[in-house]
Amino acid sequence: MIYAIVFALVVAVNRAAPGTKWKNGLRAALIVTGCACLTAVPWMIKDAIEFHNPFFPLFNHWFPNPYLYPMVEDEIRRNMLHNNNVPYSRMPFELLVGGKLFGIVGPIFFLAPLALLSLRFRSGRQLLLAFIPMFVPFFSNTGARFFIPSLPFLAMALAIALTEIPRAGTAIAVLAVAFHSYGSWPGVIERSVPGAQWRIDPVDLRADLRLTSESRFLSEHWRDYNAGLLLDRFVPANELVFSPSMGQLAYHHREIIGAYDSAPARRAFNILLTPLAKVWSNSWHRDIRFFPVTVSRIRLQVVSRIDKEVRISELRFFDGLTEVPRSPQWRLTASRNPWQVQMAFDNDPWSWWTSGEAADPQTWIETGFSRPVRLDRVTIDQIEDQRWIQHRVLAEVGGTWTPLKTDDTGTLAPPSDDLRMRLKDEWKSMTIRWILIADGSLEAEDLRKNSPCWGIQQVAARDGYRLWKLL
Q: What is the pLDDT of residues 112-132, one digit of tens each?
A: 999 999 999 989 998 998 898
pLDDT at 252: 87
- Whether residue 166 sits in one domain with residue 134: yes
DSSP structure class, residue 420:
H
Residue 87 domain-assigned (yes or no): no
Same domain, 403 and 315: yes
Mean pLDDT in residue range 151-170 = 92
Tell me what pLDDT residue 14 has.
Answer: 67
Whether 88 maps to a domain, the answer reads no
Task: Determine, yes or no, domain membership for 216.
Answer: no
Neighbours of 19 (CB within 10 A): 8
Task: Tell me, yes or no, whether 300 and 407 share the same domain.
Answer: yes
Q: Sign of the C-alpha dihedral, residues 40, 41, 44, 49?
A: negative
Buried-state track 136-172, b at ≥16 Cβ within 10 A, e below 16: ebbeebbbbebbebbbebbbbbbbbbbbeeeeeeeee
Evaluate if residue 178 carries a pLDDT over 70: yes
- Do 288 and 399 reside in the same domain of the chain? yes
Whether residue 365 is found in the same domain as residue 430 = no
> Does residue 218 lie within any of the structural domains?
no
CA–CA distance, 207 with 203 (Å, rounded to integer): 9
pTM of the model: 0.86
Is residue 219 assigned to a domain?
no
Please tell me the predicted confidence (pLDDT) of residue 461: 94
Domain assignment of residue 58, yes or no: yes
Where are the extended beta strands (E) located within 175-277? 240-242, 255-257
Please check whether residues 258 and 348 belong to one and the same domain. no
Q: Do 371 and 445 lie in a common domain?
A: no
Host domain of residue 61: 1-81
Residues in the chain, overall count? 471
Task: Read off the pLDDT of residues 202-254 as tens digits, 9 standing for 90 and up.
Answer: 778 888 888 999 888 888 888 889 998 999 999 999 999 999 988 888 888 89
Q: Are strands 391-397 and 406-413 parallel, antiparallel or unpaired?
A: unpaired
**pLDDT for residue 12:** 67
Q: What is the pLDDT of residue 40?
A: 85
Q: Which of 57, 81, 105 is the last residue of a domain?
A: 81
Statement to judge: residues 159 and 271 lie in one domain: no
- Residue 142 in this model has a pLDDT that exceeds 80: yes
Res. 16 pLDDT band, cuts 50 70 90: low
307 and 357 both lie in a single domain: yes
Distance CA 229, CA 216 (A): 13
pLDDT at 4 over 90: no
What is the structure's pLDDT at 156? 95
Mean pLDDT on 248-269: 90
Q: Examine the pLDDT at 287 and tell me if it is beyond 80.
A: yes
Please indicate, yes or no, if residue 317 is contained in any of the structural domains.
yes
Residue 261: band (very low, low, confident or very high) from pLDDT cuts 50, 70, 90: confident
Chain-wide mean pLDDT for the chain?
A: 90
Same domain, 240 and 310: no
183 with 104, same domain: the answer is yes
For the chain, what is the domain count?
Answer: 4
Q: CA 150, CA 136: separation in Å to the nearest integer?
A: 9
Residue 15 lies in a domain: yes
Q: Are residues 310 and 400 in the same domain?
A: yes
